[in-house]
Structure 1
Amino acid sequence: MPNFNIDAEKQRTFDAIVIGSGISGGWAAKELCEKGLKTLVLERGRDVKHIKDYPTADKHPWEFEFGGKLPLEKQEEFVRRGARIHESTAHFWMKEGEQDIVEEKPFQWTRGYQVGGKSLLWARQTQRWSDLDFEGPLRDGYAVDWPIRYKDLAPWYSHVEKFSGIAGNRDGLPQLPDGEFLKPFDLSCVEKHFQKVIADNYQNRHLIHGRCAHITTPEPIHQEQGRVKCMNRNLCNRGCPLGGYFSANASTLPWAEKTGNMTLRPHAVVHSIIYDEHKGKATGVRIIDANDMQLYEYFAKIIFVNASALNSNLILLNSTSSRFPNGLGNDNGLLGKYISWHNYRGQISARSEDFQDMMSTGKNPSHSYIPRFRNLYQQETDFLRGYAVGFGSSSRAVQFSRDGLGETLKNNLFNRSLGPWWVSAWMQGEVIPIESNHVRLHGELKDKYGIPQLVLSCDWTENDDKMVKDYMEQMSDMFEKAGFTQINARDSGAAPGSDIHEMGGVRMGHDPKTSLLNKWNQLHECKNVFVTDGACMTSTATQNPSLTYMAITARAANYAIEELKKGNL
């Protein structure tokens, strides 16, 4: 007579489990499945199939009932974020009540719970780190030394760039290493003007094309994925049916699926990781099914935690046992501490009186970019580290006639007088990790799944304030030299987290006493658990972080596969 309990456990046993299906989780799934591991991918949200589940991807502006703005009753479903969520993308954002949290201090935590996560919604900016970034904590003593350097990650940057498709120029800047680039998008006439002004007036300041995850000249690897050239529609956050930009849905998850080794489990809210006291390692994952609210357990030899930074912290904090009463791997008590993000508070806008006889044609899904230029080679300001800058421009036709019929009307519509160009720039500053910026589990309050609510306790520091002030001063000076008028530099005063780049809490490092993960992203105290999303970050640098998550994940996954073959896990 068969043992049904054993049979049932076998059906729920895999070689690997990946928690999360977004940018880093998709890469973990792709690498593990491609190398032959039977892999379970757990996603707390609903399934979203590429092309099929992009309901607004081809809608025209006039097809939205409220012109793109959510009606008030729907805005209330997202509370304070509601007014900023477009009607075309609301189905990809988490509604209030799905995951209650406690904001001990104001923090804007934006979540997208579905297969693909926020890879459907990201800004697609992809810059490599340099050793300037990896060595930052060692130079000034804030946070701990990264256990890796650029040379460790460089081949993995190339690996993920070739597969994903990155448009950009080879700019030869030491603080922003070049990568495996496809043809870049064109800069506007105003961007080219500003580029020349910066080059003529400053050392170590450069305006370049914003490197972005868009296919401009498809390579065979992109065609194998079923993806085609970006058509510059600028409807990216609705989901791209062409696969023109990189998302887990269009790229890594279908690639993993076609190996036959991936099992995708949506509606799986991860409760905790199971630790076996006798084996001295993790053996599986507990989930709550979001539909029937029942608890299920799945088992595997290795576990990748890619639930997004704050949720990865939550899962590990909630993974308690006799061995780890304060959370999995948390012998040093640092789990959930040194949370960081990016500083987007500095903003500036202006008008250009030049080029009024010109206007842009088509659309550019990217923008130009000024890499970090403060404190590059020596400490020159009253704040640590620095900031990068995004820069955009747009032209507006201000006057045309609607008189006449037929050909006369057509000519009048096209014989328009062109107006001024408007420019804007935004900072992306490095926030220094400090111990008091942390997350923890609430002792009593639980969410609707019975999981302890996450307490967010993070705030700006004097270093951030000084950085914003410097940004406004420097950008105002640069705008003035470019001849821009109506300059308006401001501090938005936005709460931490508004950048959607949460990082830290499960940081990498050399020493188990001061970090949670080693150089391969393994928990120091539980070697078969890997954390490769934003939670692993020791510091934030100034670059958009997603490309680094991808490279770190691919590197760790291939290391895990080799260690598994050796019997070390």
Structure 2
Amino acid sequence: MNHKEFKASEENYDAIVVGTGISGGWAAKELCENGLKTLVLERGRMVKHIEDYPTAHLDPWDFPNAGDATREIKNRKFKQHRDKHLTKQECEHFFVDDTKHPYNEEKRFDWLRGYQVGGRSLVWGRHSYRLSDIDFTANKKDGIGVDWPVRYKDIAPWYDHVEEFIGVSGENLGLKQLPDQKLLKPMNLNCVEKLLKKKVNENFDDGRVVTIGRVAHITEGTKPGLGRSTCQYRNRCRRGCPFGAYFSSNSSTLPMAEYTGNMTLRPNSIVHHVIYDDKTKKAIGVKVIDAKTKETFVFKAKVVFLCASSMASAAILLQSKSDRFPNGLGNDSGELGRNIMDHHFHVGASGIADGFEDKIEKGRRPTSIYIPRFRNIGKNTYAKEFIRGYGYQGGASRKNMSELVAEMKYGPKLKEAILKPGQWKISLNAFGETLPNHDNRMYLDYNKLDDWGLPTITFNAAFGKNELAMRKDMKEQAVKMLKAAGFKNVIGYDKLNKTAMGYGIHEMGTARMGRNPKTSVLNKYNQIHACPNVYVTDGSFMTSSGCQNPSLTYMAFTARAANHAAEQVKKNIF
């Protein structure tokens, strides 16, 4: 992708998209393909597909310090380093420096960010599951939060649309809690995982099933974008995939937007606020700070899409003050910045599998196994201690199959020991739903400004009683399943003390959708209730969290909203 180096443009655009990650890429693609001249703003640097993946082809021995974070990286990225995998040298360049991009915590919040073209679509986990009507009706059923203004049937065609474009591999199961999808052929379970699947099916009668994870990887054929081809099973995805086998904005949606000739991409562009016109009662554009020069510009458009990430989009709206919106654009309800949710995990069990010493794996499968939610979905699945549910990701592998031998220069005994496979180990790690809570919030601190003169974000959010009660069951059921399969040395674990909100990297809920403007920020098409030409389609809009990885849902809602916006522009409503 090319981009123009310019200070500002006098051209009025049809649309402005803020952010280039999972949601921003989709907004750009759909708006441009609908013929709208679209300015795409990214606060971070340019990253070009393939060209700017510096570690994509490096082997483990090519990294100093065995690839672990250096002292300098730890000092600069001390909050990003709470997830130590993110600051390994293979991918640390895709995560921000906390010294340059500070935030504040009343309660610990792990805000893990990637400021570059493509955002975190370059490093996401790629698990892609649909929400079901169980999820879309849960708040209404339980009397929690507010009711979703949509149902599964409203979003299903857009899930189809997204999946057919990005390419999702996996196995359909016909489950009401995990709807079937448009899937490419699944990746394979290994021998130990097949045993777990068999034993879980034999020993439990509550509908739990072991399957392969559904992930945004091409396993057959090709998909649109920059030469996207099938997965090479390198499992180096967080470095950027030069084959385009996994979905990212850089390999897929942004190139398709550029192909139309309707996209203008401007990196290093920090959005200060959305500009509201009191006369028209609509937004007319955005104020932007150049990240390098700190000059400010105004860009105008008929429609604005905020896709900067749940926290960043909420911050932009809170900064967008006017006589009509003294507390932030669209904040009539007072819910802007509230109801933060994230999936809680790092709880489950692990064990040892004997009897497979003659089996080894070939290739590096870039996904885990998946056990869909089986709690609180009917019949004999109800739990007394908590509502909602959780799923498991995990898998089995043989450790100590070292990649660290670059040259044949070791003694024969050491060489033999290094290359000898270790034991088969298996683990299940649960991901649980978090309930929306008005008290879980973020707000702006105008006494602590960043390098661009913008207020910093302060977090005050924590998991609640329902999540803590759920974790007990998450651990117990993992232990039961591994023991039922006959694995040895099964140990349950709960690392709640080592995690916090944000650590799941599924933060959402700060500008929730709803039916009533008095209790929500957005309507059923992701429009701000009181300013309908502003759409918010990143994790901000989520009304409840489900327990499924949410990125596929962001993409489906974004595609739906962008097509809705294009219709409004063409009808001269905006």
Partner residue, 2:240: 239
Matched, 1:74 2:112: no
Q: Which moves more between the two structures, 55-64 or 483-492?
A: 483-492
Partner residue, 1:486: 489
Partner residue, 1:123: 125
Counterparts in 2 of 1:451 and 1:223: CA distance versus 1, 3 Å:
closer
**Contact 2:218 / 2:245 at 8 angstroms: preserved in 1?**
yes
1:279-428 equivalences under 5 Å are: 279-377=280-378, 379-396=382-399, 418-428=421-431
**Contact 1:354 / 1:420 at 8 angstroms: preserved in 2?**
no
Partner residue, 1:3: none
**Contact 1:347 / 1:492 at 8 angstroms: preserved in 2?**
no
Shift of 1:63: 1.2
Matched, 1:533 2:538: yes
Code of the residue aligned with 2:162 in structure 1: it is: V
Shift of 1:390: 0.3
- Distance in 1 between residues matched to 2:385 and 2:11, nearest whole Å: 55
Partner residue, 1:163: 165
**Contact 2:79 / 2:98 at 8 angstroms: preserved in 1?**
no
Partner residue, 1:4: none
Partner residue, 2:32: 33
Partner residue, 1:151: 153
Q: TM-score, normalised by structure 2?
A: 0.93
Q: For 1:214, what is the secondary structure of its paired residue? A: coil
Partner residue, 1:172: 174
Shift of 1:304: 0.4
**Contact 1:345 / 1:468 at 8 angstroms: preserved in 2?**
no
Q: Which one of the candidate residues 87, 90, 93 is aligned to 1:88?
A: 90
Matched, 1:496 2:501: yes
- Distance in 1 between residues matched to 2:104 and 2:493, nearest whole Å: 29
Provide, for residues 351-410 of structure 1, a one-character-per-residue CA deviation record: whole Å limited to 9, x for no partner. 1113222111111001110001111126433111011110211014689xx9xx99x979
- Distance in 2 between residues matched to 1:441 and 1:34, nearest whole Å: 36
Matched, 1:465 2:468: yes
Code of the residue aligned with 1:207 in structure 2: it is: V
Q: Which one of the candidate residues 517, 523, 532 is aligned to 2:522?
A: 517
Provide, for residues 447-500 of structure 1, a one-character-per-residue CA deviation record: whole Å limited to 9, x for no partner. 111111111110111111111111111111111111112222121121111000
Partner residue, 2:3: none
Gaps of 5+ in 1: 1-7
- Distance in 2 between residues matched to 1:358 and 1:201, nearest whole Å: 25
Counterparts in 2 of 1:168 and 1:331: CA distance versus 1, 3 Å:
same
- Distance in 1 between residues matched to 2:9 and 2:64, nearest whole Å: 50
- Distance in 1 between residues matched to 2:122 and 2:149, nearest whole Å: 31
Q: For 1:297, what is the secondary structure of its paired residue? A: strand
Provide, for residues 167-193 of structure 1, a one-character-per-residue CA deviation record: whole Å limited to 9, x for no partner. 011211111111111111110111111
Partner residue, 1:133: 135
- Distance in 1 between residues matched to 2:446 and 2:174, nearest whole Å: 52
| Aligned residues with identical type, % of pairs | 48
Q: For 1:62, what is the secondary structure of its paired residue? A: helix
Matched, 1:450 2:453: yes
**Contact 1:393 / 1:424 at 8 angstroms: preserved in 2?**
yes
**Contact 1:393 / 1:421 at 8 angstroms: preserved in 2?**
yes
Counterparts in 2 of 1:142 and 1:284: CA distance versus 1, 3 Å:
same
- Distance in 2 between residues matched to 1:381 and 1:209, nearest whole Å: 29
- Distance in 2 between residues matched to 1:314 and 1:417, nearest whole Å: 52
- Distance in 2 between residues matched to 1:132 and 1:24, nearest whole Å: 24
- Distance in 1 between residues matched to 2:10 and 2:237, nearest whole Å: 38
Matched positions, count: 554
**Contact 1:107 / 1:458 at 8 angstroms: preserved in 2?**
yes
Shift of 1:503: 0.4
1:185-196 equivalences under 5 Å are: 185-196=187-198
Code of the residue aligned with 2:102 in structure 1: it is: D
Matched, 1:505 2:510: yes
Matched, 1:15 2:7: no
Q: CA RMSD in A?
A: 2.1
Partner residue, 1:259: 260
Matched, 1:209 2:212: yes
- Distance in 2 between residues matched to 1:184 and 1:474, nearest whole Å: 26
Shift of 1:71: 1.6
Partner residue, 1:63: 62
Q: For 2:394, what is the secondary structure of its paired residue? A: strand
Counterparts in 2 of 1:109 and 1:80: CA distance versus 1, 3 Å:
closer
Partner residue, 2:100: 98
- Distance in 2 between residues matched to 1:457 and 1:414, nearest whole Å: 49
Q: Which moves more between the two structures, 296-305 or 388-397?
A: 388-397
- Distance in 2 between residues matched to 1:409 and 1:110, nearest whole Å: 44
Matched, 1:474 2:477: yes
Counterparts in 2 of 1:502 and 1:397: CA distance versus 1, 3 Å:
closer
Shift of 1:209: 1.1
Partner residue, 2:564: 559
Q: For 2:120, what is the secondary structure of its paired residue? A: helix
**Contact 1:127 / 1:176 at 8 angstroms: preserved in 2?**
yes
Name the one with the larger strand percent: 1
Code of the residue aligned with 1:215 in structure 2: it is: I
- Distance in 1 between residues matched to 2:443 and 2:335, nearest whole Å: 11
Code of the residue aligned with 2:168 in structure 1: it is: I
- Distance in 1 between residues matched to 2:475 and 2:107, nearest whole Å: 26
Partner residue, 1:5: none
Shift of 1:417: 6.3
**Contact 2:17 / 2:24 at 8 angstroms: preserved in 1?**
yes
Q: For 1:167, what is the secondary structure of its paired residue? A: coil
- Distance in 1 between residues matched to 2:472 and 2:346, nearest whole Å: 10
- Distance in 1 between residues matched to 2:557 and 2:375, nearest whole Å: 26
Provide, for residues 424-455 of structure 1, a one-character-per-residue CA deviation record: whole Å limited to 9, x for no partner. 12111000011100111114221111111111
Shift of 1:349: 1.7
Q: Which moves more between the two structures, 12-21 or 532-541?
A: 12-21
Shift of 1:226: 1.5
Counterparts in 2 of 1:65 and 1:416: CA distance versus 1, 3 Å:
closer
- Distance in 2 between residues matched to 1:134 and 1:291, nearest whole Å: 43
Code of the residue aligned with 1:230 in structure 2: it is: C
Shift of 1:420: 2.4
- Distance in 1 between residues matched to 2:440 and 2:401, nearest whole Å: 48
**Contact 1:93 / 1:113 at 8 angstroms: preserved in 2?**
yes
Shift of 1:66: 2.0
